[in-house]
Amino acid sequence: MSDRQDERRPETALHARREGPTSGKKVWFITGAGRGMGVDIAKAALAAGNAVVATGRNIDVVSKAVGQAEDLLVVKLDVTSRPDAEAAVRAAVERFGRIDVLVNNAANFYAGYFEELTPEQIERQLATGLIGPMNVTRAVLPVMRQQRSGHILSISSGAGLMGFEFNSAYCAAKFGLEGWMEALQPEVAPLGINTTIVNPGFFRTELLTQESTTYAEPSIADYAEGHAARRAWYEAQNRQQSGDPAKLAQALLLIASQEPPPRRFIAGADAIAVAEQKVKDLQEQINAYRDLSTSLARDEVKGAEDRR
């Protein structure tokens, strides 16, 4: 069976029926809506009177998590699959006629020291955390360009601002996500499309559960002590995070209502502390080597500057 034939199977979407654009409502398209933060975002958007396309790899899980609603469409979407992304966007447009807000939320976490993580694990981390949002955004952008409006919110992390021990693969995905989003912003802004990078701190989601987190198999003695300590710390943090994902969902609704919305939203006091430390570290490094950095121009350029 071809990919295109598979996309037309009736179980690809639940609660589906064709209708025109939803008058007076925004249409939210949310990835990773089967558990964790995506569920809270979907429920909050629905409660605020919006239409929601809730997506996930298993539509039964998504439907059970989000519940039933008149303006809800549940669609199968594995973000690592471009055909899935294209089919999900088609289903959204067939049902609601437009997509106003895309939330790139789907996530996983491969934890471990770089040398302990296999190349395949790192590829899977990048596939979900970086290439996945690109796949979905690529499918959504033609819709938003035609509308000359839209808002793309991509959920990053404090690990997208600063590198953390035991997070090399995850940080690589989040740093990549942020670089791509920052470059995308001036490309799509003239077309009426806004972008926002969201940097949550530690929220009590399901990211640290066994369904979302994969720990590297300890294999290198030099890292053994650090690995054991870091894994124990993360396991202890599971279900103990201070951030409330329901409050974050409400904050994203507010962000999406702003004109214009912020290009970045740092969510949580702990995330602000990370961002402020990053700014401090950058400024210290700039100042420590400012004279060396500013001495690197070609001599003829420097001479021309001196003559002015």
Verify whether residue 156 is a known catalytic residue.
yes
Closest CA to 80 of 142, 4, 133: 133
Closest CA to 105 of 52, 12, 36, 47: 36
Residue 134 Cα distances to 35, 163, 239, angstroms: 21, 22, 30
Q: Write down the catalytic residue from 76, 157, 174, 215.
A: 174
Respond yes or no on whether the N-terminal peptide bond of residue 200 is cis (omega within 30° of 0). no
H/E run at residue 86: helix 82-96
Verify whether residue 64 is a known catalytic residue.
no
The strand pairing partners of 54, in sequence order, are 30, 74
For residue 112, count other CB atoms closer than 10 A to its CB: 25
H/E run at residue 115: none
Q: Write down the catalytic residue from 113, 170, 215, 223.
A: 170
Q: Write down the catalytic residue from 63, 154, 156, 157.
A: 156
Verify whether residue 170 is a known catalytic residue.
yes
Q: Which residues are catalytic?
A: 156, 170, 174
